[in-house]
Structure 1
Amino acid sequence: MPKLIFVNLPVADLPRSMAFYEAVGARNEPSFTDETAACMVFSDTIHVMLLTHDKFRQFTPKQIPDAKRTCQVLLCLSMDSAAEVDAIVARAADAGGTADPGPKQDHGFMYGRSFEDPDGHVWEVMWMDVAAARAAMAEG
Structure 2
Amino acid sequence: MEAEIIQQVQAQAEDLADHWRIKKVLKQSDVDSSSRLLIGRQQVFTHITPFFTNNPSEFCHNIEGIRVTVFDVDTLTEHVFTLKKWKTNSFVLLNNWKSNFVSRRRLKKNDEIELRWDVNASRLEFTVLERHQN
Q: Common fold, TM-score beyond 0.5?
A: no
- Work out which structure has the larger RCO, using CA pairs closer than 8 Å and 6 or more positions apart in sequence: 2
Q: TM-score, normalised by structure 1?
A: 0.23
